[in-house]
Structure 1
Amino acid sequence: MRQPLRFILSLTLLFSCLSSFAKIGDPVIDPAKEKVKISGTVIEKTTKQPLEYATVTIIDATNPKIIAGGITNPKGGFSIEVAPGIYNIKIEFISFKSIEYNQRKLDKNTNLGTIELVEDAAQLDEVVIRSERSTVEIKLDKKVYNVGQDMIVKGGTVSDVLENVPSVSVDVEGNVSLRGNENVRIFIDGRPSNALNMAEALRQIPADAIDKVEVITNPSARYDAEGGAGILNIVLKKGKNLGFNGSFITSIGVPETYGASANLNFKTEKLNFFTSTGYDYRTSEGRGLTNSINGTNLNTDSGIITGYNDEVRDTERLRKGISTKTGFEWTVAPNTFWTNSISYRDNSGTNNDLVNYNSFDQDRNFTSTRYRLSRGNDSGKDIEYASNFLKNFNDEGHKFTADFSYATSKDNDDAIITDEIVGSNNPRFDETFNNQDQKQLQIQADYVLPFENGSQFEAGYKGNFNDLDSEYSVTTDNSGNAIGDFLSNTLEYKEQINAIYTQYGFKVNKFSYLFGLRWEDTKINVNLLDTQDFNTKKYNNFFPSAFINYEISDESSLSLSYSKRLSRPRGRFLNPATNYSSNINLFRGNPDLDPSFTDKFDLGYLKRWEKVTFSTSMYFENTENVFAFVRTETGEFVGDNPVILSSPVNLAKEQQFGFEFTLNYSPLKIWKINSSFNLFNSKTTGENTYEDINGNEITQKLDNEAFSWFTRVSSRLTLPAKVDWQLSGMYFGPRNTAQGRNLGNYVINMAFSKDILKDKATVALNVSDLFNSRKMISETNLESVTSYSEFQWRRRQINLSFTYRLNMKKTDKEKNPPRNGGGGGDEGGDFPG
């Protein structure tokens, strides 16, 4: 992924040569003579991969003057016109031995054929130019965030990485949203993740194992239709350099955090062995409060207050475990590749929640103190086998890919909860446990056929088969029986999705087009075995997509896109297991949720200047049957405090309209600024009808219109002594909800980095949430309770990391860039143009 470095160095070499010639005063090409064309293809001899940005120089053989020159395209090809004559031809590429053709007579069109360059080991040792690849790459159909140069996330997790990705936001509980919408699909190496608790799953992957994050706001037909807001593809590291090389990373932090990982790679001409293995020990401390007013008709002027309750929560979570991804890539033939890998995770941890309740009467006189302590333990094991086969029929993009993966996971959680009123001698002890077993099989095949006129045809199939068994129960030490169906259940979830797609792209003058159609057939069984409640959901749908791009100039373009998407409820949305750490503020999923369908429209504009890249888009999303979280009064009380349940329900419709701006600016060579701004308006209509514990039917009107915005700015500056300083800030604006309001909050992160040991090692210090300000702050207004809440999932953290690179420098390029289709099942072909 060193394309910017290659391009800059190649252009510098080419322009310097041309400038030298221009100073002599002779024209580059004599217009009086008929021109002839010289062409060829430059590749790397060992891997047979094309070398983009290689420099080709044409020199007068009788007088050492540069006559013409050029650089190779992404396929390694070049074509240069010169006047007939006798020339010396020189082909160069950074860190490779150059090739020269001397005294070559050119009196007609000449093709030099395939030119193989060999790596120059001595020159590699002399290269000291640092590659500062862009943190954010803006591409036609997606944005790519490269993790490698971001100091802020050193020693962190995937959640820390996503907090720095344009268009993406992560709340204090770890829930991911794209452009303010939580219906986003998470991919790992091109394969969708079906983790039951996605927020927790993302916290278990260290940031050091991530290569890049692809943000796809409006996916084409080649991608899964699921994910109303779009797709985030997290690509893990896999080495590509020849020989044995790798990096070792260790980290330590406060609160108590330790980590060690190794990313190793051994590559020969035929085989590439790779592994990314690490151990992680991580402590997170959190804090929250909820101040409630209890009464009747509190949402009217005639409301009567019956009491107050102040709830304070302290949390401490410990995660430790080992994870690895190990495999090999076999070059079966020059254009045929087979990759196999095994991923394994074994982790355990503890969850301790202490909730203190102070109760007051209607006159705010203290009445009692109650505490609730939950001590939990969890463990989990995941294993996945993945295989990818890639056949390139030629160098023009004609290829076939096949993917297979099978994964199993087991997660066990249990907790003992102590509930006691201070001063009494009758504490209550509850025990919860949640056991989950999941199996997932995925099969995919994709075919890409380009045509001579620049058009391209794609087609493919994907099957996804997922089985999940989840058993949850709450018991007491007195009887050992479950505490009612409201809290205990056994969930059986089975999912079968078969999909086929086709799409066709072509280019006419400055316009590029891509039209696609995907068909998905879905069968889902959601069964609650304890209550014999069986639900089968079967549906099949077409999902069209269309993309149009207009090249205004080499520096600017305009794009328009449409796609139809769906969001299947998953994870915590479906799982009826009840979060019981607080017995008056509960959360549980809803296994009877239906999918929602979204029509997405996006109009984008991209402009590049010498030091500035500006991207903006206007988007509109219309979602039917949207699901959202609502708070309901169950009719139960703990003392004088009503029990409130948060649960997702299907609503009627949601319409979201917004603007997004991204600006990358480099005022100086030592200073880079990345910024983004998202402004949106969301309108929701619908109502929720439910029965409380007493059989009373209650209808909630949930119509709501919310205006909000969020922004982020990241600045990276090289200080004296080559110390890098990075500062990033994010602000999330306030937003109205159907039952209250979420208040604004901000977070500031800071990091320092220094290369040592002749650039073979790096020391980095980063501080997450510098001012301890990242809190979810909300106000809720119900008929019998109004509340003000603050919650901070993770308080300020400080991490110190040390990275050592073995047989590779920070400047090493990827000599064998990832092949399309080789990193995961959904990459497919490239958009034409």
Structure 2
Amino acid sequence: MRKLLPIILLFSTFTIYAQRPQEVNPIKITGTVLEQDTNQPLEYATLVLQSIDNPSKISGGITDANGKYEVEAQPGKYNVSIEYIGYKTYKLPNQNLTKSIDLGITKLAPDVAELEGVEVVGEKTTVEIRLDKKVYNIGKDLTNSGANISDALNNVPSVTVDVDGAISLRGNENVRILINGRPSALAGFGSTDALRQLPADAIEKVEVITSPSARYDAEGTAGILNIILKKEKTLGFNGSINTTIGYPTSSQINSNLNLRTDKFNIFNTLGYSYREAPGNGLFDNTYVNGTYDRIIEDRDINRLDKGYNGNLGIEYFITDKSSITASVFGRISDESDITDNDSKRFIDNILTNQTFRKEDEKQDDNSVQVSLNYINNFNDNGHKLTSDFQYSKNTEDLLTRINENNTVPNNDLLARENIYQNEIQNEYLFQADYVLPMGDAQFEAGYRGNFEQTITDYQLDTLNQNSGQFETNLDLTNKFTYDENVNAFYSQYGNKFGKFSFLLGLRLENTQLKGKVESEYDIEALQEILGSEVDLNFDKNYLGLFPTFNMTFELNEMESITLGYNRRINRPRGRFINPFPSRSSRTNVFQGNPDLDPAYANAYDLGYLKRWEKLTLTSSIYYQKETNSFERVQEETGQTTSDGISIIRSIPINLSTNERIGAEAGVLYNPTKWLRLNGSFNFFQFETDGIFNNVDYGAKNTSWFSRFSSKITLPSKIDWQTNFFYRGPSENSQTKNKGIAFTSMAFSKDVFSDKGTITFNVSDLFNSAKRRSYTETAFFTSDSEFQWRVRQFTLGFVYRFNQPKGKTKQRQPQQQNDDDGQGEF
């Protein structure tokens, strides 16, 4: 709302003024507006020109992302003021403006009295359009109460999260997840499981970067999701406590504390969560080979997740232009999942055997991350140097106990297995960025080095029923070490010519992928499965150039066109490379492919933005062509279990191409103060092409997804929000997925003089968030329905101290590099 008000005001006044006869020979008034304490630019600050001769005649303009303004006016006498909600107005009365003038740098100071009176925080426009991204502010989404970050992402346009937690951007799962502009232990280093353990209300905004500039890592052919976490910026000691309870049983408590003085800023976040998340699944499988031609599996899943997370940091202001920030983040997770699987086995549609399988999985997941950041602003115009160091370590210990019994026709033990898995991941990040403004132009250059190693120990023990002792499966027990080292240099240049802005960049990346298999046992059988041409111990190097181009043409203050092009890479992750099979059951195994090469994509995006007084429209059409794209396929292994069931293998492969074309549109409509509506629609067509082991996996399909949200202020200042999401059917060469729809609803009420807020939230109101799919191959079919989590009710309460709800967000003195608008015009 902070950004909409000046736009609406100016649009209205300009419309009135435009109806009057225009004079000739206008003059230009330019300048820059900064925040006094931080020297950060204030975007959407308003320059107001009030004619002294005719006080009803008001004109002016607003600042851009760099805090700069350029306004045309007729020569004359004016009362000049610069305004920004939550800041003291700067006034220049009785100014005789006869020629173009540069008012220089104006620094605005926070107005504490006004901050207390601002009505609502976070009600600003929920989308901001930049040259290379869209920024969605989701802090006021009521349905985030009691939810986790993964849930919150499912409310962001262009983003979908399936029932397994896989995140897609425009229907493409090859998306890079960043936290505050960097790979992070919070995001699980490529796994999204950690995002389900962190509270959604920790997010300030999400950047959807479908056309990343050269400043960003080239990883992720679909683009980048950059999650910006909240960090308090006001002076003094302040914070908030957030608690929730829910059914099925869940609870969490989070605190966000901040102490800031003129010389330092100490910030701390602590959280604990407890959640029982029941789920279920039904799988109807038919087989061409094996003892049974049909098996129906009915699964009940009970998850118990307990987690602690904490973040402690200090920012020290060395001078008024430089600072250093150090922080440490830790996460401890204790998960216990029990899956009961009742299997009915048929021969010629006659039930001949029934088994009951219990899988008890316990996982301890610990993460720690240490970060150090230095920033030096050489001047107030954006000339700066930043450098970063980050070390992260993630450890996962997994023990799975499997017990399977026959129940029909006899009651006896079928199999008992213990799976031990330990994974240790270490990552080092070094980064430096230099920004040099040159008038309306800007040059930027930098380096990023990412060095990651993952060591996976895997052991499978099976019970020998004759001896009563567990024996290690010699074919599967292994140790796999995987290294991914990326060195990157980039430079980019941007400029603005009137209404035309562009950003041109080039990134050079060298990728080294190394794999090493260690085993005390004979691995010849594994080599035979993969083929003699596949190197189990590999060392691959890839050198690539990744150009980017983004431009914006402003048709007028309320309308613009954007165009973007970028080249991206999708590197195979450790699980996709690890050649040793792991299995979700005795009959289904997943096996990595060490012969995988990175995939490359060229993407184009054409966007259009139009604002009216109460409505904002964003739209784009896009096209992407990916080569060596990844596809996970299922095939027969030629083996059967001891009770005669065919063992199916899933393996990732490089297909030749994947083409995707689509269009999306989003609408934000605020007809009144008590009603806010927004919706989005995304339609896309994708076509894959490729052959593996003489099987054609080519496919062509169209799909779409849509979301709608309404927020209504009821009497007694009760807010009511409803979110609806629908994803249409989709398919690939082997699997057809049915459409999925779900609805969430929330109510909130401020209490204790707006220092507290009570929220009631129902996630998946109609209990309909279920994945329904059908897989068909030459050797088996599978008709399945899977529900990750049933409908959830949550009651939440947040209390703020020295942090009134009406406080306007101020810019922090030092932001992460990828969040500070570098290179944006």
Q: Shared fold (TM-score greater than 0.5)?
A: yes
Structure 1 residues 396 and 584, CA gap change in structure 2 (3 angstroms) = same
Following the alignment from structure 1 to structure 2, what is the Cα–Cα distance between the partners of residues 732 and 106? 57
- Which residue does the alignment assign to 2:481? 492
Following the alignment from structure 1 to structure 2, what is the Cα–Cα distance between the partners of residues 514 and 15? 32
Aligned match of 1:164 in 152, 155, 176?
155
- Which residue does the alignment assign to 2:274? 281
**Do the aligned partners of 1:285 and 1:794 also contact (CA within 8 Å) in 2?**
yes
**Do the aligned partners of 1:631 and 1:644 also contact (CA within 8 Å) in 2?**
yes
* CA deviation string 1:556-586 (max 9, x = no partner): 2222221111100115433456553422233
Following the alignment from structure 1 to structure 2, what is the Cα–Cα distance between the partners of residues 427 and 83? 90
Report SS of the residue matched to 1:191: coil
Report SS of the residue matched to 1:499: strand
**Do the aligned partners of 1:446 and 1:828 also contact (CA within 8 Å) in 2?**
no
Following the alignment from structure 1 to structure 2, what is the Cα–Cα distance between the partners of residues 102 and 650? 68
Structure 1 counterpart of 2:153, which letter? L
Residues 469-480 of structure 1 aligned to structure 2 (within 5 Å): 469-478=455-464, 479-480=469-470
**Do the aligned partners of 2:121 and 2:809 also contact (CA within 8 Å) in 1?**
no
Structure 2 counterpart of 1:537, which letter? K
- Which residue does the alignment assign to 1:254? 247
Residues 27-176 of structure 1 aligned to structure 2 (within 5 Å): 42-54=33-45, 65=55, 70=60, 73-74=63-64, 92-98=83-89, 115-128=106-119, 132-176=123-167
**Do the aligned partners of 1:172 and 1:774 also contact (CA within 8 Å) in 2?**
yes
Most deviating of 349-358 and 720-729: 720-729
- Which residue does the alignment assign to 1:617? 620
Most deviating of 597-606 and 48-57: 48-57
Structure 1 residues 55 and 501, CA gap change in structure 2 (3 angstroms) = closer
Report SS of the residue matched to 1:161: helix
Residues 222-621 of structure 1 aligned to structure 2 (within 5 Å): 222-295=215-288, 307-362=293-348, 364-422=349-407, 423-452=410-439, 454-478=440-464, 479-485=469-475, 487-530=476-519, 533-575=536-578, 578=581, 580-621=583-624
**Do the aligned partners of 2:3 and 2:125 also contact (CA within 8 Å) in 1?**
no
Aligned-pair CA distance for 1:188: 1.2
Following the alignment from structure 2 to structure 1, what is the Cα–Cα distance between the partners of residues 547 and 101? 46
- Which residue does the alignment assign to 2:760? 765
Most deviating of 459-468 and 317-326: 317-326
**Do the aligned partners of 2:597 and 2:628 also contact (CA within 8 Å) in 1?**
yes
* CA deviation string 1:343-374 (max 9, x = no partner): 11111110111111111111x22111101111
**Do the aligned partners of 1:489 and 1:529 also contact (CA within 8 Å) in 2?**
yes
Output the aligned Cα RMSD.
3.0
**Do the aligned partners of 1:14 and 1:69 also contact (CA within 8 Å) in 2?**
no
Structure 1 residues 490 and 444, CA gap change in structure 2 (3 angstroms) = same
Aligned-pair CA distance for 1:591: 3.6
Aligned-pair CA distance for 1:625: 0.9
**Do the aligned partners of 1:55 and 1:69 also contact (CA within 8 Å) in 2?**
no
Aligned-pair CA distance for 1:126: 3.6
Aligned-pair CA distance for 1:72: 5.5
Report SS of the residue matched to 1:377: strand
Following the alignment from structure 1 to structure 2, what is the Cα–Cα distance between the partners of residues 732 and 658? 15
**Do the aligned partners of 1:322 and 1:345 also contact (CA within 8 Å) in 2?**
yes
- Which residue does the alignment assign to 1:300? none
Question: Is residue 2:203 matched to residue 1:213?
Answer: no
**Do the aligned partners of 2:4 and 2:125 also contact (CA within 8 Å) in 1?**
no
Following the alignment from structure 1 to structure 2, what is the Cα–Cα distance between the partners of residues 50 and 162? 28
* CA deviation string 1:315-342 (max 9, x = no partner): 1111112111211222222221222211
- Which residue does the alignment assign to 2:2? 5
Following the alignment from structure 2 to structure 1, what is the Cα–Cα distance between the partners of residues 793 and 355? 34
* CA deviation string 1:241-283 (max 9, x = no partner): 1111111100011111110001111111121111121111112
Structure 1 counterpart of 2:355, which letter? R
**Do the aligned partners of 1:437 and 1:468 also contact (CA within 8 Å) in 2?**
yes
Following the alignment from structure 1 to structure 2, what is the Cα–Cα distance between the partners of residues 802 and 571? 41
Aligned-pair CA distance for 1:614: 1.7
* CA deviation string 1:87-138 (max 9, x = no partner): 7655554444455556777788777665554444344334435651233333
**Do the aligned partners of 1:129 and 1:811 also contact (CA within 8 Å) in 2?**
yes
Structure 1 residues 831 and 127, CA gap change in structure 2 (3 angstroms) = closer
Report SS of the residue matched to 1:241: coil
Aligned-pair CA distance for 1:147: 2.2
Aligned-pair CA distance for 1:672: 1.8
Following the alignment from structure 2 to structure 1, what is the Cα–Cα distance between the partners of residues 437 and 226? 25
Aligned residues: 800
Gaps of 5+ in 1: 297-303, 690-698
- Which residue does the alignment assign to 1:695? none
Structure 1 residues 106 and 709, CA gap change in structure 2 (3 angstroms) = closer
**Do the aligned partners of 1:55 and 1:91 also contact (CA within 8 Å) in 2?**
yes
- Which residue does the alignment assign to 1:751? 746
Report SS of the residue matched to 1:552: strand
TM-score, normalised by the number of residues in structure 1: 0.89
**Do the aligned partners of 2:3 and 2:124 also contact (CA within 8 Å) in 1?**
no
Following the alignment from structure 1 to structure 2, what is the Cα–Cα distance between the partners of residues 763 and 189? 29
Aligned-pair CA distance for 1:79: 6.9
Sequence identity, in percent? 41
Report SS of the residue matched to 2:716: helix
Structure 1 residues 713 and 574, CA gap change in structure 2 (3 angstroms) = farther
TM-score, normalised by the number of residues in structure 2: 0.90
Structure 1 residues 826 and 441, CA gap change in structure 2 (3 angstroms) = farther
